[in-house]
Amino acid sequence: MRSVGVEEELLLVDAQSGRPLAVSGAVLAAAERSAWQHPGADGRPSHEFEKELQKEQLEFATKPITEMDELQEEIIRIRGEAARHAASTGAVVAAVATSPMPVQPSLNVGRRYQWLGEQFGLTAQEQLTCGCHVHVSVDSDEEGVAVLDRIRSWLAVLLAMSANSPFWQGEDTGYASYRSRVWNRWPSAGPVAVFGSADRYHARVRDMIDTGVLRDEGMIYFDARLSAAYPTVEIRVADVCLDAATPVLLAALVRGLVETASRAWQNGEPPARVDTSLLRLASWRAARSGLDGPLLHPETMRETSAPQAVEALYQHVREALKDHGDDERVRQGIAQLHERGNGARTQRGLQADGQSLSSVVARCAEMTLEP
């Protein structure tokens, strides 16, 4: 069975005001101290946290896992660890993809971050966004690229399901996932054309880096890419999700997509040649609507309801889900998501109930740690 890993970016905020705090360095130092006090089974200190572009956020990654119950337990555990380390600095963690409160982000220290700030100006300065990335194992780059070529039109549905960033600088943006709109300011971000082979994929990456616009392979911000560090494909479209169950739902669906695409490749089925311009429109529509408006159907690229688009994704990967033992979990997860809504609906619902944006953030921080 293919292993799955999840990366999440969390916002570090003040518990009372809800404003982001530039304390990632102190949080990482607390994690490092804890790791030395409680080394792993091999006697070496280690933790799951890394700094990100801005000092107001913290990133973690799970280990590769095959069972979804274990993945959810791991996400809950690490979120709890993040909260514990953040508390030592006077902060709390919130799984929101943009800050509802006004903020002037602070670029992290380091040569790479300094280069990004100088190269991209306001795009880098304003880029305080928190995503959820799902890694799924593949046997080779050739299989990985075959998967990338065959999952392109399905990714916007995952964005709609995860949408959790309706607010920006204290205002309702009108979008369910404004994070994705901010993220797509990067010149290498978004959907891409069919590659056709691993050689063509790697040639495209080299050509992009050789322009001098990008610093290195880590700046290949495609919606889905080959990981530069692991034998995986990495799907990067989702907002970080409020609750711990939704990233597990996404992970199960992504693994189903990867397996379905790989089987199609092995059977000699060509990828759908959906034009990249249509995929960009599907992504915009998903960011605008989330689950509360129309989406573009992944197979026809024509307007449909959000439930119909999600159902199409489910049916597309259902055989793989059954083979993985994930079918019942996914069916229930989709039903619950439609009933309660994604993070964008939750955040707006809290505000509609008369809560201030600072109270919205405080409630989101509580939900981040709920099992």
Cα–Cα distances in Å, from 60 out to 8, 23, 85, 129, 249? 6, 16, 13, 14, 18
Helix (H) or strand (E) holding 234: strand 232-239
pLDDT in tens, 112-158: 999 999 999 999 999 999 999 999 999 999 999 999 999 999 999 99
Kindly list the domain boundaries of the chain, sorted by start residue.
4-368
Q: What's 4-368's CATH class?
A: alpha beta
pLDDT at 41: 66
Map tokens 């572009």 to a residue: 53
Residue 37: is its pLDDT beyond 90?
no
Q: How sure is the predictor about 35, in pLDDT bands with cuts at 50, 70 and 90?
A: confident
For the beta carbon of residue 143, count every other beta carbon within 10 angstroms. Answer: 19
Residue 45: is its pLDDT beyond 80?
no
Residue 44: is its pLDDT beyond 80?
no
pLDDT in tens, 206-259: 999 999 999 999 999 999 999 999 999 999 999 999 999 999 999 999 999 999
Residue 29: is its pLDDT beyond 90?
yes
Tell me what percent of the residues of the chain surpass a pLDDT of 90. 96
pLDDT at 268: 98
